[in-house]
Structure 1
Amino acid sequence: MFQGRTLLIATMHHKEKAIAPIFEKELGVKCFTSDKFDTDTLGTFSGEVARKNNALNTLREKCLFSIEKNDCDLVVASEGSFGSHPLIFFAPANEEMLMFKDIKNDVEIVVKAISTETNFNAAEIKNESELMQFANKVKFPSHGLILKPSENDFSKIVKGITDEVTLKNSFKEIMNEFGTAYVETDMRALYNPTRMELIEKVTLKLIKAIQSKCPNCNYPGFIVSESKPGLKCDLCHSPTRSILSDISKCKKCNYTTEQLYPNNKTTEDPMYCDFCNP
């Protein structure tokens, strides 16, 4: 279905370095990038352009706009989100979502992953000593930084800072002009190797999803679409919130399978039971 076709990687931030080698090897496609559509118009991490939609809808827009501008029918794009981990409170996290769209065959496959391996951080800085302490903590200069007057002031913003001279000079200029300075990690992939590593991992997950075909009609993307809770407690045998089964459903013919005990355990530890451990 994909062998020999041309695949657009919708990015302005060099994500093709992580994505292209995997797709070309595993699917036999020829990858390319294009500057005909500015993906930053859908939102920027630094805040000048707010993301109007959620990550999934933004990702879909990125794919469709890129296809339209480049007159192609095969595209992959990623969308990252940063903030507190949903389960590990107070821990910063990077959620990365990838979408693969094949207009010709009406295929859309989405995968995502979340990781606490991120340098995502920001702070108001009062002096050069605080600036360098922050820089050392967030893996500078291998990971880029952004400087601006304050969190929501974009009147002067310096992005992609990857050397100490530029960092210190930009800090002095902003302090002299505004009297305050705000530093944050540059989360664009080309300035953030840690994020690029996660994009590579999610790309491998996406390839696996594409290569997972429906047993009934051979359509790609036969992956888990729903997980059912209800794994029984080992002590009181009441259903818990833990996963009992995974449901996979074909988006084309609706063929469905259910896999019991996907995590290779038939009962749950009582510590996770709302009755034994309320």
Structure 2
Amino acid sequence: MFSGRQLVIATQHDKEKVIAPILEKELGVQCLIPSGFNTDLLGTFTGEIERNLDPLSTAREKCLRAMEVTGCDLGVASEGSFGPHPEMVFAPADGELLIFIDKKQNLEIVARKLSTVTNFSGQQVRNEQELMDFARKAQFPSHALILRPGKNAATDIVKGIVNEADLRAAYDTLFARYGSVFVETDMRAMYNPMRMQVIEQATQLLAAKMVSLCPKCRTPGFSVT
């Protein structure tokens, strides 16, 4: 049903590095990435652009847009959400959702993975010692950081910081201007290996559902709930 067909992965944040190998192996598809595709138009983690849709609707819209610009009738998109775990409220959680759409077969399959393996965090810092303490706990520099004047500031945001010199320089600039700095983990997939691992796990769940057929109608996506 899927073997030999092209499948577009709706991403600009390198998610294809963990999604494509699994889907190509399990489904026999040929994955491609849309050139110049901007998923930030549907919302950013830092809030400059608000996400107006729920995670599933956002992922679906990403997928359909990527399918439209590439002409593919197979597509996959993901969307992440971060916050307190629904059952362990004092533990942060990464919720990853993947959606697969097959226009030819009029098929939509969704997989979800909720994990406490995340460094998702943020803190207002008043000096460099607090900054570096946060960085160490966040597993910097293997995991990037973001600096901005305050938690909800939508301007003067410095993203994708991956070395100490840039971190200190950005901190000094913002602190001199605002007198305080908010530091947070950069949750974009290409800057957060822990998140990338959860996306990989969600992709494995998706692939398993896609090769699971309904015993009666033989439609992919069968699962026992």
Q: TM-score, normalised by structure 2?
A: 0.98
- In structure 1, what residue type is equivalent to 2:20? A
Match of 1:164 in 2: 164
Deviation >4 Å, runs of 4+:
none
SS of the equivalent of 2:98 reads strand
Structure 2 residue 40 is the aligned partner of structure 1 residue 40: yes
For 1:93, the equivalent position in structure 2 comes to 93
Q: Indicate the residue corresponding to 1:256 in structure 2.
A: none
The answer to whether the aligner puts 1:10 opposite 2:30 as a matched pair is: no
Instruction: Check whether the contact 2:147–2:171 (CA below 8 A) recurs between aligned residues.
Output: yes
Q: Distance in 2 between matches of 1:97 and 1:145?
A: 23
1:61-100 equivalent positions in 2, closer than 5 A: 61-100=61-100
Q: Secondary structure of the equivalent of 1:130? A: helix
Give, in angstroms, the shift of residue 180 of structure 1.
Answer: 1.8
- Structure 1 residue 36, shift from structure 2 partner: 4.1
Mapping of 1:212-231 within 5 angstroms? 212-224=212-224
Query: Deviations 1:69-113 (Å, cap 9, x if unpaired)?
Result: 222111111100000000012110000000000111111000101
Gaps of 5+ in 1: 225-245, 247-278
Q: Secondary structure at the match of 1:216?
A: coil
* Residue matched to 1:116: 116
SS of residue matched to 1:182:
strand
**Does the alignment pair 1:27 with 2:27?**
yes
Question: Which has the higher mean CA deviation after the structures are superposed, 69-78 or 135-144?
Answer: 69-78
Q: Distance in 1 between matches of 2:172 and 2:203?
A: 40
Give the aligned partner of residue 208 of structure 2. Answer: 208
Q: Deviations over 1:206-258 (max 9, x none)?
A: 0000001011121111123xxxxxxxxxxxxxxxxxxxxx4xxxxxxxxxxxx
Kindly provide the CA deviation profile for residues 7-29 of structure 1, in whole angstroms up to 9, marking residues without a partner as x.
Answer: 11100000001001111111111
Measure the CA separation in 2 of the matches of 1:180 and 1:89. 28
d(CA) in 2 for partners of 1:210, 1:14: 22
SS at match of 1:174: helix
Residues of 1 paired with 2:90 and 2:51: CA distance?
23
* Structure 1 residue 35 displacement after superposition: 3.1
Higher helix share: 2
Q: Distance in 2 between matches of 1:35 and 1:159?
A: 22
Displacement of 1:153: 1.3
- Mapped partners of 2:183, 2:53: distance in 1: 26
Structure 2 unpaired stretches of 5+ = none
Does the aligned pair in 2 maintain the 1:14–1:189 contact within 8 Å? yes
Q: Is the 8 A contact 1:36 1:69 kept in 2?
A: no
Q: How many angstroms apart in 2 are the aligned matches of 1:78 and 1:41?
A: 15
Query: CA separation in 2, counterparts of 1:21 and 1:30?
Result: 10
Q: How many residues align?
A: 225
Amino acid at match of 2:158: V
SS in 2 for 1:25: helix
Larger radius of gyration: 1
TM-score of the two chains, using structure 1 as the length reference: 0.79
What is the identity, as a one-letter code, of the residue corresponding to 1:41?
Answer: L
Aligned partner of 1:129: which letter? Q
Within 5 Å, which residues of 2 pair with 1:134-149? 134-149=134-149
1:67 positional shift: 1.2
Aligned position for 2:152:
152
RMSD: 0.9
- State how far apart, in whole Å, the 1-side matches of 2:145 and 2:35 are: 24
